């Protein structure tokens, strides 16, 4: 991959801006699909990027017109799971043939969803662990971690994978190509189901929850249910990943979960793709998942206070 390859970031939130900007810093041609006040700020004053207490302003190409992605060779799908179907539909008759798609959604279903829309295209799946948030329009704060693991899901070849890995690493992003992305996305699901809902409900950073003796017991219980449901589906997860996730979270910085951020801004959460998915699959398979069911119901009730369904 070289600078002539065009990268599209479909959904320029905090995560999209972080990984898209890293590719731009590595010398690639990147365009961001954004909207609202955030878009206006990106267009007028640029992207204010803050990390490690340092701030830099980057000039970026951004638009709310999906046609800016028409000539992209690789598109990073960085929208929420709740927006993925609409995003794919909006791009169906816009993008050129043989685009490579990379999914960055939470949950375990995104890559299959995208493959269904674009069966002739290459689809890559990614799992990212990062603390990042939009502080205000045009201002992205990177507070913790930032690694990304990605690999083939539907068709594809190694050339794009290795080029993306090289570009991200050039920008000091911990990026690595993985062979078994099914296992990787389920490992991320383990963390999401353990921490996202609890941090949203308590409004505490993931590290605070991981260091709380009583609360981390609930985290572990939710994770154990994920392992049990995954096994019933046919995905084998190593139970030792639970302690690894806990330790990693204790050592991380201020990770404000995506669900906490969504609820703070009165937006729909991705609970259906996380604890809700585990609860639903458990019910379908006859596997008990009471903790995940409880967390899903609590988030749904909390959302009901501000969402009109």
* % of the chain at pLDDT higher than 90: 93
CB 68 within 8 A of CB 96: no
Q: Report d(CA 124, CA 188) in Å as an integer.
A: 16
- CATH code, 6-178: 3.40.50.720
Q: What angle do CA 213, 214, 215 make, to 5 degrees?
A: 100
Q: Which residues of the chain have pLDDT under 70?
A: 1-3, 309
Q: Do domains 6-178 and 183-303 have the same CATH topology?
A: no
Tell me what pLDDT residue 3 has. Answer: 55
Alpha helix locations (H) across the chain? 14-25, 36-44, 84-91, 110-117, 158-170, 181-202, 206-210, 213-233, 240-251, 258-264, 275-285, 290-303
C-alpha–C-alpha distance, residues 113 and 85, integer Å: 8
State in words which class domain 183-303 has. mainly alpha
Reported pTM: 0.93
Which pLDDT does position 2 carry in this prediction?
Answer: 53
All structural domains of the chain with their residue ranges = 6-178, 183-303
């Amino acid at each position: 991959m070289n600078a002539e390859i065009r990268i599209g970031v479909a959904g320029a939130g905090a995560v999209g801006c972080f990984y898209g900007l890293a590719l731009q810093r590595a010398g690639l041609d990147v365009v961001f699909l954004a909207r609202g006040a955030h878009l206006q700020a990106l267009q007028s004053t640029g992207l204010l990027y803050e990390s490690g207490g340092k701030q830099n302003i980057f000039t970026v190409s951004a638009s709310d017109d999906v046609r800016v992605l028409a000539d992209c060779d690789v598109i990073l799908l960085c929208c929420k799971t709740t927006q993925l179907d609409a995003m794919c539909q909006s791009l169906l008759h816009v993008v050129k043939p043989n685009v490579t798609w990379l999914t960055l959604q939470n949950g375990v279903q995104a890559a299959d969803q995208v493959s269904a829309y674009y069966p002739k295209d290459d689809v890559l799946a990614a799992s990212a662990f990062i603390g990042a948030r939009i502080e205000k329009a045009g201002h992205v704060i990177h507070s913790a971690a930032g690694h990304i693991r990605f690999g083939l899901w539907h068709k594809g070849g190694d050339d794009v994978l290795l080029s993306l890995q090289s570009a991200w690493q050039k920008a000091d992003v911990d990026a690595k190509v993985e062979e078994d992305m099914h296992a990787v996305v389920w490992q991320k699901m383990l963390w999401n189901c353990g921490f996202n809902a609890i941090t949203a409900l308590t409004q505490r950073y993931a590290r605070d929850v991981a260091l709380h003796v009583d609360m981390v017991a609930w985290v572990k219980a939710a994770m154990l249910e994920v392992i049990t449901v995954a096994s019933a589906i046919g995905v084998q997860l190593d139970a030792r990943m639970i302690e690894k996730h806990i330790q990693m979270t204790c050592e991380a910085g201020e990770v404000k979960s995506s669900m906490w951020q969504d609820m703070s801004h009165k937006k729909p959460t991705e609970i259906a793709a996380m604890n809700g998915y585990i609860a639903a699959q458990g019910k379908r398979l006859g596997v008990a998942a009471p903790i995940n069911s409880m967390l899903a119901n609590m988030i749904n009730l909390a959302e009901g206070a501000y969402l009109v369904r």
